[in-house]
Amino acid sequence: MRPLQTDLSIFRKFSFKRSPVGIKFRFFRPEGIDPLAADGKQSLCEILREAQDAANPFYFGKEHNETCVGKILLGMQDMEAFAESGQIGEKLQIFEEARANYAFYRQVPKFERNIVNYVVFATLERLAFEPDLLILDADPDQAEIVLRSMTYSSGELYNSRTTPVMGCAWILVYPFQSGRVNYILPEMIHGMKGRELFPAGSVLVSIPYQWIPTMARNLAAMPWHLPSHSSREQYLAEFGSILEDLAKKAGKETGASRGLEKRKD
């Protein structure tokens, strides 16, 4: 794996309650990194949660067991026919009928078979490789700043795509495949909510490698806490003042331009 060269120190200034996690998708087994210790006891989203508190990087591989659909989404194994037909979602009362669950599966992103054989997880403090994804567990105020750092220099729209189940697909697979920053609310995902993995109000933001340098650079340059966010009164006063000043400036320029046209006539 290519050693970390991107300066990610700006993300430490957020003092997130749970550490950001760098992700690397691998075809070959990573060298010098230990495998996941608690084999067979966790879902993929639980592994992500464990990674936030891990003392050292670790990898999850196709030889490991997993209790949900993580290996299916990673392309490490096929889905059982009864599950793919939509039976589980109907039994859980998430979908009216199996047909709705089946239709939903057609929309969920996943890796092609045997493309990803290992996934490496490392906290920001222990991250020594260039990550494919940087996943942040933020509160709403922190998430606002992080997402604004994406649009600050680019004008890129915020993007949130997810589904009631298979939420790990939208935080791991979708951002990597699409190259788009994505954010989800764990409380809206059946498994994450049922397993009580993330505190109420958490926002998971997944940043693909294409965006990491831009967002890190913008975070270092832009104001984090905007004056207009301090209070409603401050917002109205600042916004009103800006509109008034711009209107006066525009009026003067328009007036000057009209005067020039008259002199030409």
- 174: closest CA among 108, 114, 224? 108
Report the distance separating Cα 14 and Cα 138, nearest Å: 9
**What tens digit of pLDDT does each residue of 239-263 get?**
899 999 999 989 887 766 555 455 5
76-135 pLDDT, tens per residue? Answer: 999 888 888 889 888 989 888 989 888 888 889 999 999 999 999 999 999 999 999 999
Hey, what are 147's tokens? 């997402």
Quick one: pLDDT at residue 106? 86
Q: What phi and psi values does residue 66 have, to the nearest 5 degrees?
A: -155, 140
Q: What is the pLDDT of residues 40-90, one digit of tens each?
A: 679 999 999 999 999 999 999 999 989 999 999 999 999 888 888 889 888
DSSP string, 48-65: HHHHTT-SS-EEEETTS-
Q: Per the confidence metrics, is the pTM higher than 0.85?
A: yes
Pick the closest to residue 144 from 228, 59, 261 (CA basis). 228
Q: Of 98 and 205, which is predicted with more confidence?
A: 205
What is the pLDDT at residue 30? 96
pLDDT band of residue 230 (cuts 50, 70, 90) is confident
